[in-house]
Every structure is written in C-alpha cells, then in structure tokens.
Amino acid sequence: MKYLVISDIHSKAGSLDLLPADESLTCICLGDICAGDPLGSAIAIDWLMAREAICVLGSHDEPVIDDGALESYRSREKTLRREGRGNPDLFVKFYNDALRVRHGLNKVQIDFLSSLPDMQTVKQGGKTIQMVHNSLKTKGNKTGYRILNTDVARANFASPLFKCDILLVGHSHIPIAYREYHGEVTETIFTESKKLILLDGRHILNPGSLQRLRSYVRHNPKTRVFEGDKRISYGILDLIESTFEVKFLLK
C-alpha cells in the first residue's frame, strides 16, 4: 500500500544509496535506468532486481537492448544536420552511450532490461495505478513526450489508454502532479519536500529524477525554478493515507 517511486537514474547508482532502506516500501522505477556509464547502469539494475522493483522501460534503456531504437539516434542526428537545426552531436553521444552500456552489461542485466514493458498496471487498495516512462500520448503526437502543463495533462487524461486512478510518469526530471476532477485540471509543482493529499479525481504524478532536476521553460515557465538546481528527488505514494510525498536530496 506504500510505494517508493523513482525515475531517471541515468546510471547514477550512488543516488540509490540515499533512498529509504525500508523494505516495506514496494519500489516502482519509471525508466531511464541506464545512461553512458556501464558500471553505474549495472549497479542500478542489480539494485532494482534485488529490491524486486516494478519497472518500465525508459527512452535511454530501449536503445541498449533494441537495434532499431539505437539506430534511431543516428537517423535523428542525420535529420538535424541536414536541416541545420538542433544539436546533432547530442544524438551521437546518445548512440555511443547506449552502445557502451550494451557492451558493459552481463546477460542477466540485459535480460532484465529486455523483460521490461512500456507500461505496467497495479491494482491495490481499490486503486488502479498505471506506470509509463513519459506519456500516454503516442510518439507521433508532439504534445506527448513530457507532461509539463495542464494542456498536455488534459490530453493524457482524455486518452483512451488512461484506465487508472493514478498515472505515474517520469522522463521530464521535474517533480510535478496533475489532478483531473469534473473536467478541471490543476497543477502542483514541487519545489521543496512536500506531501500532497490526493483528493477525489484522477491524478498524474511525477517524482522527478535521481540524476538531476531540469528546466523546461518553453513547456512551462514555472519550471525555471529548477535551473542550476543541484538536488535530486523521489516520491512516496501512500494509498492508505491517499498522499504523494516528494522528497528532495542533495547528492
């Protein structure tokens, strides 16, 4: 009935040592376990397996195990270079990082990543919880990748894939919550450790990141508060008290 909710480790396995050791907390990981450090990725995977965590596949995990996803980095790089926009070198880095992690993991760790679904659903205490890495919207819909404002949250609440009371998401590295009640969508951005009471309605909850917090001013100007922020964050979802608590830590 109580969950430790984490996301976006990005191979920063040392962050896991800062988390509560309370084994009564079922661990949920919302993806992006891996990044450019094979050792950190391996340690993080081993930690999640030992904790018997409920996990979904992240956007940086998929290219480690899937050739098509890996090659999509090269395709994206070529498109940006041809169109003279964006940061194509970033996708070169992503490609090399994923390949390095792939070669650095053992078979058990690769099998673990390969077993992870894009979505998980848990029913507990009369509540249905869905988990995805980024969004319920399809990748072809540009409003879908990061749920960072009420418009995108509303689109996700309206998605036929939204079949739950609580949707847990990561990807944005911003601890944020949305509530939909009688068609109205409200937003809570966590800037300090805080416990949110989950009132009647449906909820989208993001615990932030164990790598670093980010700012997406173009998507939501209020996220500017996280520019240069050195903290990391995680969540505690309590279905008994009906609360979601975000906690901030300094690495």
- pTM reported for the whole predicted model: 0.95
Contact assessment for residue 8 and residue 209, using Cβ atoms and an 8 Å cutoff: yes
Answer with the residue of higher pLDDT: 109 or 155.
109
**pLDDT tier for residue 144 given thresholds of 50, 70 and 90:** low
Q: How many domains does the chain have?
A: 1
Residue 129 belongs to a domain with what CATH number? 3.60.21.10
In 3D space, the residue among 65, 34, 62, 39 whose CA is nearest the CA of residue 211 turns out to be 34
Q: Mean pLDDT over all residues of the chain?
A: 94
Predicted local distance difference test score (pLDDT) of residue 48: 98
7 found inside a domain = yes
Q: Cα(31)–Cα(18) distance, rounded to whole angstroms?
A: 18
95 found inside a domain = no
Q: What dihedral do alpha carbons 118, 124, 129, 131 form, nearest 10°?
A: -30
Residue 71 DSSP symbol: H
Residues listed for the chain: 251
3-state secondary structure (DSSP) of residue 177: strand
Domain with 172, as residue range(s), is 2-61+116-250
In percent, the amount of the chain with pLDDT more than 90 equals 91
Q: pLDDT per residue over 200-241, tens digit each?
A: 999 999 999 999 999 999 999 999 999 999 999 999 999 999
Q: Burial code of 114-146, b = ≥16 C-beta within 10 A, e = fewer?
A: eebeeebebeeeebebbbbbbbbbeeeeebbbb
- The order of strands in the sheet holding 26-29 is 54-55, 26-29, 2-6, 231-238, 243-250, 194-197
In 3D space, the residue among 180, 199, 190 whose CA is nearest the CA of residue 245 turns out to be 190
203 found inside a domain = yes
Beta bridge partners of 159: none
**pLDDT tier for residue 138 given thresholds of 50, 70 and 90:** low
107 found inside a domain = no
**pLDDT tier for residue 59 given thresholds of 50, 70 and 90:** very high
133 found inside a domain = yes
Predicted local distance difference test score (pLDDT) of residue 184: 97
Q: pLDDT per residue over 62-120, tens digit each?
A: 999 999 999 999 999 999 999 999 999 999 999 999 999 999 999 999 999 999 999 99
192 found inside a domain = yes
